[in-house]
Structure 1
Amino acid sequence: MAIAVALLAGVAAAPAPSLLFDLRPERIVDMSYPFDDKTIYWPTARSFQLTHDFSGMTEAGYFYASNSFCASEHGGTHLDAPSHFSESGLTADRIPPRALIAPAVVIDVRRSCAADPDHAATVEEVKTFEAARGPIPSGAVAILFTGWGARWPDKNRYLGDDTPGDASHLHFPGFSPEAAAYLANERHVAGLGIDTASIDPGVSKDFKAHQIAGATNVYNLENLAAVDRLPPKGAMLIALPMKIAGGTGGPARVLAILP
């Protein structure tokens, strides 16, 4: 009996476990743009279309509403699965959930991008970040902060050209192949992220950064919003794409929890 009381007393006296994250509303950053008729898609992709199927009172006397939507996998804030550019890469539904919850690292290259809208972030820029902030941890999502989010949703300013069906005159920054390879092969990141329409610069014709990411089963998060609200290190990212069986990507709700 005394032992039981002592055990119960020990349980009662134990400190309450602390939360892993501070989930107060002001610590949560929504990094996804809404999907609507202003959502920016790749010029050759099908844009977001919402059909209102029904909204109103039913014959049974209760309110009911339902919509249908249709869109490309790759538009708005979305995830590229490795299979987007790798025949053997993971499809959207096969990315391990643990890889979608990861530390966020934000590499600020706004100055370079302001000087050159076709800037491809270099390994040197990544290493300069690491010299100041420490090594990028394995399993992180490395986000390139170009400043292009300030141009959303102006398609012409954001993409560099808004000609429907023509992707040959785009201008926006991205990762260089060398930087993508360094992050994937040397730092073993889970994902690459960016506040533009693609991890490759708009002028790219061979999408080398995509190819490198796909070959190493690194996913991409594109058209990220509110990157300016994240610190260089310390935030935790939660990226939840639509789980499309066999999908090469999909719309994503991306959240960051600030330190």
Structure 2
Amino acid sequence: MTWLVPCFHVLLLFGEPTISLQGNRIVDLSHDFSEKTLYWPTAQTFTLQEDFKGTTDKGFHYEANTFKAAEHGGTHLDAPNHFAAGRWSSEQIPLDRLIGAAVVIDVRDKCAENRDYQVQTSDFEAWEKKNGRLPKGVIVLLHTGMGKHWPDAERYLGTAERGPQAVPKLHFPGLHPQAAEWLVTHRSIHAIGLDTPSIDYGQSTLFESHQILFKANIPAFENVANLDQLPAKGASVIALPMKIKGGSGGPLRIIALLP
């Protein structure tokens, strides 16, 4: 979903660079939260309980609901403390790590051939050969193409089963630990996201890429939507999670601004 912002001027002064909304096209990178939202097979899914909907005894319309869900499902944040003790929890992540220039690493062809593909250092090097070195403080988005299957659990996760027995049946792309180490050691990124349920690929049991990135206080965005609408470079991203004190993640509203 996209919107064209009319000609008014808003500046977000969260560090460099300053982002202007004037004349930008806005792309929503978030999936809706509903009964169809996909979660890890062992996690509590999203429920919306109606508390009241209708006309009150005083004659005005009123609606209110209670929602319940695990932190990690749908389009969401992984805070560094999710896999690294003593690192930032959800509310501790500085805003300038969640807002900034974004690049898209397109690995759709490789993931179409192998749904267990792990993004390699060579994929980043190929991007840099065409576009220049990854900028300092950039938000990296991995475009695997899996987002087109949302919310079909069988096609997106690799299985529609629920429960612990489903976890070994998960098949989707992710980031190779060696590439995660390369990003931490040789580049200086602020955050990373992708259009799959996890930064590590579906068959991972040690979640090494999570561990490597989160020890370096690099947060992650998972189940990101509409990456096919973003260019390889030139977009800016605003990723604002629910501010849960002590949280290891939470629902995320993430948008991109296109010039």
User: TM-score of the superposition, structure 1-length normalised?
Assistant: 0.91
Residues 1:21 and 2:10 aligned together: no
Cα-to-partner distance string for 1:168-214 (whole Å, 9 max, x where unaligned): 11100010001112222321111111001111100111101100111
CA contact (8 A) 1:23 1:257 kept: no
Residues 1:160 and 2:158 aligned together: yes
- 1:216-231 matches, within 5 Å, as 216-231=216-231
Residues 1:246 and 2:246 aligned together: yes
Cα-to-partner distance string for 1:114-153 (whole Å, 9 max, x where unaligned): 1111000100111111111111112111111000011111
C-alpha displacement at 1:238, in angstroms? 0.2
Cα separation, 2, equivalents of 1:253 and 1:142: 17
CA contact (8 A) 1:91 1:248 kept: yes
Pick aligned residue for 1:128 from 126, 145, 152: 126
Q: 1:42 to 1:18 in 2, by over 3 A?
A: closer
Equivalent AA in structure 2 for residue 21 of structure 1: S
Cα separation, 2, equivalents of 1:18 and 1:218: 27
Cα separation, 1, equivalents of 2:99 and 2:122: 27
Partner of 2:16: none
Pick aligned residue for 1:60 from 46, 58, 61: 58
Instruction: Give the CA RMSD over aligned residues.
Output: 1.4
Q: Percent identity?
A: 48
> Could you say what secondary structure the match of 1:184 adopts?
helix
Equivalent AA in structure 2 for residue 159 of structure 1: L
- 1:109-188 matches, within 5 Å, as 109-165=107-163, 166-188=166-188
CA contact (8 A) 2:79 2:89 kept: yes
Cα separation, 1, equivalents of 2:89 and 2:233: 28
Q: 1:49 to 1:18 in 2, by over 3 A?
A: closer
Cα separation, 1, equivalents of 2:10 and 2:34: 39
Structure 1 unmatched runs, 5+: 1-16
Equivalent AA in structure 1 for residue 186 of structure 2: E
Cα separation, 2, equivalents of 1:56 and 1:23: 39
Cα separation, 1, equivalents of 2:167 and 2:137: 32
Residues 1:106 and 2:101 aligned together: no
User: TM-score of the superposition, structure 2-length normalised?
Assistant: 0.91
Larger radius of gyration: 1
Cα separation, 1, equivalents of 2:91 and 2:128: 32
C-alpha displacement at 1:23, in angstroms? 4.3
Pick aligned residue for 2:46 from 30, 35, 48: 48
Cα separation, 2, equivalents of 1:55 and 1:145: 40
Cα-to-partner distance string for 1:14-46 (whole Å, 9 max, x where unaligned): xxx99642444x700000000001000000100
CA contact (8 A) 2:10 2:22 kept: no
Partner of 1:30: 28
Partner of 2:206: 206
Residues 1:77 and 2:72 aligned together: no
> Could you say what secondary structure the match of 2:168 adopts?
coil
Between 176-185 and 196-205, report the one with greater CA deviation.
176-185
Structure 2 unmatched runs, 5+: 1-8, 12-18
Equivalent AA in structure 2 for residue 116 of structure 1: N
Partner of 1:215: 215
CA contact (8 A) 2:140 2:191 kept: yes
C-alpha displacement at 1:102, in angstroms? 1.5
Partner of 2:14: none
